[in-house]
Amino acid sequence: MVNYLELAQRVSTAAAANGVEAEAIITHDTSTIIAVNKGEVDQLSQSSSRGLGVRVIDGGRTGYAYTSDFSDSSIEQTWRTALDLAKVATADEYRALPQPSSVINNAELDIWDSTLADIPMTEKIDFLKRVEQAALNYDPRVILVDFCTYEDSISNVYLANSRGFAGEYGRTTVASYLAGVARGEDGGMTNAFGMGASNFFRDMNADEIGSEAGQKAVSILGGQPVPTQTASVVLDHFVGAQILSTLAAALSAQAWQRKRSFLMGKMGQTVANDIVTLMDNGQLKGGLASAPFDGEGVPTSATRLIDEGVLQNLIYDSYAARRDGVKSTGNAQRNGHRSLPTLGPSNFYMQPGHISREEIIAGVKKGLYVISVMQTGGIDPITGDCSMGANGLWIEDGKFVGPVGGVTIATTLNDLLNNITQVGNDLRVLPFFGAIGVPTLRVDNVIIGGTN
């Protein structure tokens, strides 16, 4: 059996013998995708892939080449191609490999399901059929289920470079998602999303995933606009996650260096209510995006970006960090062996509070519980503009009084951060743009655009 870490070390050493810096990454992945429709398997695929990527840096000039052919001749041709490409690339003084540092043990992260590879395909199919049936069983008005899907992956990464770094880790992920479609007595139809994700198959709950889609779809049947007004909104996890993914983009050092963030110039200032703490934590135990090191061998870390309302830091890879003269936060991401490292979030989340979702809703005198949004005006990390079509449930005196549809919610990300007045204790992590974690959020002073 091939020792992939030793192979990566040999490749980086061979390339570096030509007077350059060199890095070799090997990825070995196995994935499963299943889809069901009306109780029958609609799609079933299982694939395995492996590949080698070689990065060469010669005086700030970068060359990159990759292959899935592990013959000796192909491997040599790959690193030689990277050498040739570096010779004709444009030099960038900030391009260099990071200095090696010690990394956390993979076992401490709790991201490896040793049983996943042995779970029979029939058990996975049965699980997904139960997801679909749970949505249909929730209420007779749930008439069908759309794209009911199960996915899992077993991923192994081996990385070595000419500066002396060598490391490997494995991560498993499992996810299932669907849309439930409901029809009311008037013929109107709605759809809503349900999802579950974990590093472990045993943590997945088919009934909860399916019921979530059915419950949400039924709850917004017959939704009508409310009069245009300024009121409170309570954001469901899926809605909050979309907003947080935009905040992650605005908190990227690369965005700041390109002057493409609404938070520019506010480092060290109060930018949010003091109950708001935003984290990026690549070492989060059981995190969907956790790893002992990032895509270039830098140890991952827990970074407080906004700490009790104060902007404290950005996410960095080694290139952006070198440009700003700071330390990398370990946020270089790799999309397999075919890609160069790029700066991006890992486990990006808002620190949960101490109040339940039910208590948050009970405290709203008048407002909207937002279940789903459509990107009408969109959420812009550069300007901070935030405008979305919304569906949900109207709240009066702390109780749901009816469905709402055809409205727009509008604010700015600046105002949203400062007007978050309650943060729930129900942190939920969703696999959006890495892994975005958000509790139920109450935001005051939001414009709800409906009827005049």
CA angle, corner 259, sides to 253 and 265, nearest 5? 80
Which of 363, 354, 350 lies closest to 425 in space, CA to CA? 354
Share of the chain above pLDDT 90, in %: 96
Q: What pLDDT is recorded for position 434?
A: 75
Share of the chain above pLDDT 70, in %: 100
Summarised one tens digit per residue, pLDDT across range 55-85 is 999 999 999 999 999 999 999 999 999 999 9
4-217 is classed CATH 3.30.2290.10? yes
Tell me how far CA of residue 31 lies from CA of 44, 184, 206, 339, in angstroms.
11, 38, 20, 19
Q: What is the DSSP letter of 360?
A: H
Tell me how far CA of residue 114 lies from CA of 107, 111, 162, 200, 431, in angstroms.
11, 10, 32, 9, 21
Q: What pLDDT is recorded for position 376?
A: 63
Its pTM stands at 0.96
Summarised one tens digit per residue, pLDDT across range 220-247 is 999 999 999 999 999 999 999 999 999 9
Q: What pLDDT is recorded for position 97?
A: 98
- Residues of the chain where predicted confidence (pLDDT) is lower than 70: 376-377
Domain ranges of the chain: 4-217, 223-452
Instruction: Tell me the pairing of strands 420-423 and 366-379.
Output: unpaired
The amino acid present at 357, given as its one-letter code, is R
Rounded Cα distance, 78 and 15, in Å: 10
Instruction: Tell me the pairing of strands 366-379 and 229-235.
Output: parallel
Q: What pLDDT is recorded for position 1?
A: 77
